[in-house]
C-alpha cells in the first residue's frame, strides 16, 4: 500500500519516518522522499499511532490526491536542485510534465491553487536556498555555483539572489547572517 507523507526533504527524514513505521510494527517495501510502500494494509489503530508520531516529528500523512501530487512535485524540485547538475537549457515545465506524465498546465494550476506560490517561484526559492548553502561553505565561486544551478550568467544569479534575499551574493558571503530556511518551509 502506498503512503504519501508531507515534509520529507532529506535522507534523515526518510530514516525518521522508517523508524516511526518500524515502531508501529509496520514493515516497509520501500521508502523514498514523500512516499512509502508498506508490505500490507495499515489498520485503523496503526494509522492513528503512525499519524500521531508523524505529526509530532513535523510530518503529515497526505490523503488527498492533489496534495500527493504537490508533494511529488516538491520532491522532484528539491532533488533536482540538490543534484547541482541543472543545465542552462533546463525547462522545469518539460521536466515535471515528463516526470509526472501529466500536462504541465494542470500541474502548475494545482500547485498554485494549493500553495501560496507558483511552481516557478518555488523552484527559484529552492535554488536560492541552495546558493545560500554553497556560499556559506565558501568552496565554490559564484561562477561555479551559477553553472551548477543552471543560471545562464553570474549576473542573472546575482539579480535573482538580491531580489529574493535583499543582499548581493557578495554581501551575503561577508555577513553570513542571513537565515536559511528549512526546505520544508520554503
- What residue ranges define each of the domains in the chain, with the CATH number in brackets? 2-63 (3.30.70), 67-185 (1.10.10.60)
CA–CA distances in Å: residue 93 to residues 53, 89, 121, 146, 178: 35, 12, 13, 20, 30
Per-residue model confidence as pLDDT tens digits over 12-38: 999 999 999 999 999 999 999 889 999
pTM of the model: 0.81
For residue 132, pLDDT over 60 is answered with yes
Given this model, what pLDDT does residue 177 score?
47
Q: Mean pLDDT, to the nearest integer, of 88-107?
A: 95
Q: Mean pLDDT, to the nearest integer, of 106-133?
A: 95
Residue 62 three-state SS: strand
For residue 140, pLDDT over 50 is answered with yes
Per-residue model confidence as pLDDT tens digits over 46-59: 999 999 999 999 99
Which residues have CB under 8 Å from 93's CB, separation 6+? 104, 108
Which residues have CB under 8 Å from 30's CB, separation 6+? 36, 37
* Mean pLDDT, the chain, whole residue set: 91
Amino acid at each position: 500500500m502506498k503512503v504519501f507523507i508531507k515534509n520529507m526533504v532529506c535522507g534523515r527524514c526518510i530514516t525518521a519516518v522508517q523508524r516511526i513505521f518500524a515502531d508501529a510494527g509496520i514493515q516497509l517495501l520501500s521508502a523514498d522522499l514523500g512516499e512509502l510502500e508498506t508490505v500490507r494494509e495499515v489498520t485503523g489503530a496503526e494509522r492513528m499511532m503512525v499519524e500521531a508520531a508523524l505529526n509530532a516529528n513535523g510530518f503529515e500523512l497526505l490523503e488527498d490526491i492533489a496534495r500527493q501530487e504537490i508533494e511529488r512535485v516538491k520532491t522532484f524540485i528539491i532533488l533536482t536542485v540538490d543534484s547541482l547538475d541543472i543545465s542552462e537549457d533546463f525547462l522545469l515545465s518539460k521536466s515535471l510534465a515528463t516526470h509526472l506524465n501529466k500536462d504541465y498546465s494542470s500541474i502548475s494550476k494545482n500547485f498554485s491553487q494549493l500553495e501560496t506560490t507558483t511552481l516557478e517561484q518555488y523552484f527559484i526559492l529552492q535554488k536560492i536556498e541552495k546558493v545560500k548553502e554553497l556560499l556559506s561553505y565558501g568552496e565554490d565561486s559564484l561562477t561555479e555555483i551559477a553553472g551548477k544551478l543552471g543560471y545562464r550568467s553570474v549576473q542573472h544569479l546575482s539579480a535573482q539572489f538580491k531580489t529574493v534575499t535583499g543582499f548581493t551574493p557578495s554581501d551575503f558571503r561577508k555577513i553570513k547572517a542571513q537565515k536559511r530556511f528549512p526546505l520544508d518551509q520554503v
